[in-house]
Protein backbone atom coordinates (compact mmCIF):
# COMPACT_ATOMS: atom_id res chain seq x y z
CA UNK A 1 0.00 0.00 0.00
CA UNK A 2 2.91 2.35 0.68
CA UNK A 3 4.02 2.16 -2.97
CA UNK A 4 0.57 3.21 -4.17
CA UNK A 5 0.51 6.10 -1.72
CA UNK A 6 3.98 7.18 -2.84
CA UNK A 7 2.85 7.08 -6.47
CA UNK A 8 -0.25 9.10 -5.59
CA UNK A 9 1.97 11.71 -3.87
CA UNK A 10 4.15 11.99 -6.96
CA UNK A 11 1.20 12.24 -9.33
CA UNK A 12 -0.60 14.88 -7.27
CA UNK A 13 2.51 16.92 -6.43
CA UNK A 14 2.73 20.46 -7.70
CA UNK A 15 4.51 20.39 -11.04
CA UNK A 16 7.78 22.26 -11.10
CA UNK A 17 7.94 25.23 -13.45
CA UNK A 18 11.48 24.37 -14.57
CA UNK A 19 11.99 22.39 -17.77
CA UNK A 20 11.54 18.62 -17.66
CA UNK A 21 14.09 18.01 -20.44
CA UNK A 22 17.28 19.47 -21.90
CA UNK A 23 17.01 23.18 -22.68
CA UNK A 24 19.29 25.96 -23.84
CA UNK A 25 17.12 28.59 -22.10
CA UNK A 26 18.88 30.86 -19.62
CA UNK A 27 15.90 31.91 -17.50
CA UNK A 28 16.32 29.15 -14.89
CA UNK A 29 18.57 29.17 -11.83
CA UNK A 30 20.62 26.12 -10.84
CA UNK A 31 18.29 25.64 -7.86
CA UNK A 32 15.25 25.49 -10.17
CA UNK A 33 17.00 23.06 -12.50
CA UNK A 34 17.96 20.86 -9.54
CA UNK A 35 14.39 20.96 -8.25
CA UNK A 36 13.08 19.75 -11.61
CA UNK A 37 15.74 17.03 -11.81
CA UNK A 38 14.98 15.83 -8.26
CA UNK A 39 11.24 15.75 -9.04
CA UNK A 40 11.96 13.55 -12.05
CA UNK A 41 14.22 11.32 -9.94
CA UNK A 42 11.50 10.90 -7.32
CA UNK A 43 8.93 10.03 -9.94
CA UNK A 44 11.30 7.56 -11.62
CA UNK A 45 12.09 5.93 -8.27
CA UNK A 46 8.40 5.40 -7.51
CA UNK A 47 7.80 4.06 -11.03
CA UNK A 48 10.84 1.78 -10.76
CA UNK A 49 12.74 3.36 -13.67
CA UNK A 50 15.45 5.28 -11.79
CA UNK A 51 18.36 3.32 -13.27
CA UNK A 52 20.22 5.53 -15.72
CA UNK A 53 18.08 8.63 -15.17
CA UNK A 54 21.07 10.98 -15.48
CA UNK A 55 21.78 9.41 -18.85
CA UNK A 56 18.33 9.33 -20.46
CA UNK A 57 16.75 12.46 -18.96
CA UNK A 58 19.25 14.90 -20.56
CA UNK A 59 18.27 17.37 -17.82
CA UNK A 60 20.58 19.97 -16.33
CA UNK A 61 21.60 19.31 -12.73
CA UNK A 62 24.27 20.64 -10.43
CA UNK A 63 27.52 19.02 -11.42
CA UNK A 64 28.32 16.24 -8.96
CA UNK A 65 32.02 17.12 -8.94
CA UNK A 66 31.71 20.78 -7.96
CA UNK A 67 30.20 22.83 -5.21
CA UNK A 68 29.00 26.43 -5.33
CA UNK A 69 31.42 29.18 -4.37
CA UNK A 70 30.41 31.92 -1.93
CA UNK A 71 31.25 35.59 -1.61
CA UNK A 72 31.36 38.03 -4.49
CA UNK A 73 29.94 36.42 -7.61
CA UNK A 74 28.85 33.04 -6.20
CA UNK A 75 29.24 30.48 -8.97
CA UNK A 76 27.64 27.13 -9.71
CA UNK A 77 28.27 24.65 -12.50
CA UNK A 78 25.53 22.49 -13.98
CA UNK A 79 25.90 19.61 -16.40
CA UNK A 80 23.67 17.60 -18.71
CA UNK A 81 24.41 14.20 -20.18
CA UNK A 82 23.54 14.18 -23.86
CA UNK A 83 24.11 10.47 -24.35
CA UNK A 84 21.73 8.36 -26.36
CA UNK A 85 19.92 5.09 -25.82
CA UNK A 86 21.13 3.50 -29.03
CA UNK A 87 21.93 -0.18 -28.55
CA UNK A 88 25.62 -1.03 -28.53
CA UNK A 89 26.89 -1.99 -31.95
CA UNK A 90 24.74 0.46 -33.89
CA UNK A 91 26.60 3.20 -35.69
CA UNK A 92 24.79 6.12 -34.08
CA UNK A 93 25.99 9.69 -34.35
CA UNK A 94 24.61 10.91 -31.04
CA UNK A 95 26.55 13.16 -28.73
CA UNK A 96 27.98 10.93 -26.00
CA UNK A 97 29.29 13.42 -23.51
CA UNK A 98 28.53 15.74 -20.67
CA UNK A 99 28.06 19.41 -21.43
CA UNK A 100 28.47 22.19 -18.89
CA UNK A 101 27.48 25.75 -18.20
CA UNK A 102 28.32 28.00 -15.29
CA UNK A 103 26.08 30.47 -13.44
CA UNK A 104 26.79 33.58 -11.37
CA UNK A 105 24.21 34.21 -8.67
CA UNK A 106 25.01 37.94 -8.40
CA UNK A 107 24.85 38.67 -12.12
CA UNK A 108 22.22 36.03 -13.01
CA UNK A 109 24.57 35.26 -15.91
CA UNK A 110 24.92 31.90 -17.68
CA UNK A 111 27.88 30.98 -19.83
CA UNK A 112 27.59 29.36 -23.22
CA UNK A 113 27.22 25.59 -23.24
CA UNK A 114 30.68 24.00 -23.20
CA UNK A 115 32.00 20.47 -23.55
CA UNK A 116 34.63 21.19 -20.88
CA UNK A 117 33.79 22.15 -17.30
CA UNK A 118 36.93 24.26 -16.83
CA UNK A 119 36.18 26.21 -20.03
CA UNK A 120 32.73 27.11 -18.67
CA UNK A 121 34.28 28.21 -15.36
CA UNK A 122 36.95 30.29 -17.14
CA UNK A 123 34.29 31.95 -19.30
CA UNK A 124 32.29 32.90 -16.21
CA UNK A 125 35.43 34.33 -14.61
CA UNK A 126 35.97 36.45 -17.74
CA UNK A 127 32.50 37.89 -17.13
CA UNK A 128 32.54 38.21 -13.33
CA UNK A 129 36.24 38.74 -12.59
CA UNK A 130 37.66 40.65 -15.60
CA UNK A 131 41.44 40.62 -15.44
CA UNK A 132 41.71 37.32 -13.55
CA UNK A 133 43.97 35.87 -16.25
CA UNK A 134 46.59 38.51 -15.37
CA UNK A 135 46.80 37.53 -11.68
CA UNK A 136 50.16 36.32 -10.37
CA UNK A 137 50.47 32.60 -9.69
CA UNK A 138 49.33 31.54 -6.23
CA UNK A 139 47.27 33.51 -3.77
CA UNK A 140 49.85 35.21 -1.58
CA UNK A 141 51.37 37.87 -3.85
CA UNK A 142 50.23 41.50 -3.70
CA UNK A 143 46.85 41.26 -5.37
CA UNK A 144 45.04 44.46 -4.48
CA UNK A 145 41.82 44.65 -2.45
CA UNK A 146 39.57 43.48 -5.30
CA UNK A 147 41.45 40.19 -5.56
CA UNK A 148 41.40 39.25 -1.85
CA UNK A 149 37.66 39.58 -1.21
CA UNK A 150 35.50 36.53 -0.52
CA UNK A 151 35.02 34.49 -3.68
CA UNK A 152 38.15 35.73 -5.47
CA UNK A 153 39.96 33.22 -7.69
CA UNK A 154 43.61 32.21 -7.77
CA UNK A 155 45.76 30.79 -10.55
CA UNK A 156 48.15 27.92 -9.91
CA UNK A 157 50.78 26.19 -11.99
CA UNK A 158 49.63 22.68 -12.88
CA UNK A 159 50.85 19.60 -14.68
CA UNK A 160 49.37 19.30 -18.18
CA UNK A 161 46.87 16.63 -17.05
CA UNK A 162 45.76 18.33 -13.84
CA UNK A 163 44.08 21.45 -15.17
CA UNK A 164 40.51 21.15 -13.85
CA UNK A 165 39.16 24.33 -12.23
CA UNK A 166 38.40 23.53 -8.57
CA UNK A 167 35.70 25.40 -6.66
CA UNK A 168 36.53 26.56 -3.14
CA UNK A 169 40.28 25.88 -3.39
CA UNK A 170 41.22 29.55 -3.46
CA UNK A 171 42.16 30.85 0.01
CA UNK A 172 39.39 33.40 -0.62
CA UNK A 173 36.74 30.74 -1.25
CA UNK A 174 36.68 31.08 -5.04
CA UNK A 175 38.04 28.90 -7.79
CA UNK A 176 41.60 27.67 -8.20
CA UNK A 177 42.18 27.82 -11.95
CA UNK A 178 45.11 26.42 -13.91
CA UNK A 179 47.58 28.93 -15.33
CA UNK A 180 46.31 29.85 -18.83
CA UNK A 181 49.23 28.23 -20.67
CA UNK A 182 48.30 24.88 -19.05
CA UNK A 183 44.53 24.93 -19.48
pLDDT for the residue 93: 63
When pLDDT is cut at 50, 70 and 90, the band that residue 1 belongs to is very low
- Residue of 15 and 40 predicted with greater confidence: 40
Contact 104, 75 (CB under 8 A): yes
Please give the model's pTM, rounded to 2 decimal places. 0.79
Backbone angles phi, psi at 36, to 5 degrees: -65, -40
Write the burial class of residue 125 (CB in 10 Å: 0-12 exposed, 13-18 middle, 19+ buried). Answer: buried
When pLDDT is cut at 50, 70 and 90, the band that residue 2 belongs to is low
pLDDT for the residue 141: 72
Average pLDDT over residues 68-96: 75
pLDDT value at 151 more than 80: yes
Give the whole-angstrom CA distance, residue 50 versus residue 60: 16
pLDDT for the residue 20: 72
Contact 85, 165 (CB under 8 A): no
Average pLDDT over residues 3-15: 59
Give the whole-angstrom CA distance, residue 135 versus residue 146: 11
pLDDT tens for each residue of 92-121? 666 667 889 999 999 899 999 998 999 999
pLDDT value at 19 more than 50: yes
Amino acid sequence: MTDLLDLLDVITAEPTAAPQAYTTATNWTPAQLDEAYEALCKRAEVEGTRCGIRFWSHMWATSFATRPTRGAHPMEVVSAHLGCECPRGNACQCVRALVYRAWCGDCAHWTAIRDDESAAVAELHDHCWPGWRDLPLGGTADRGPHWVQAGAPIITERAPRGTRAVAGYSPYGGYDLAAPDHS
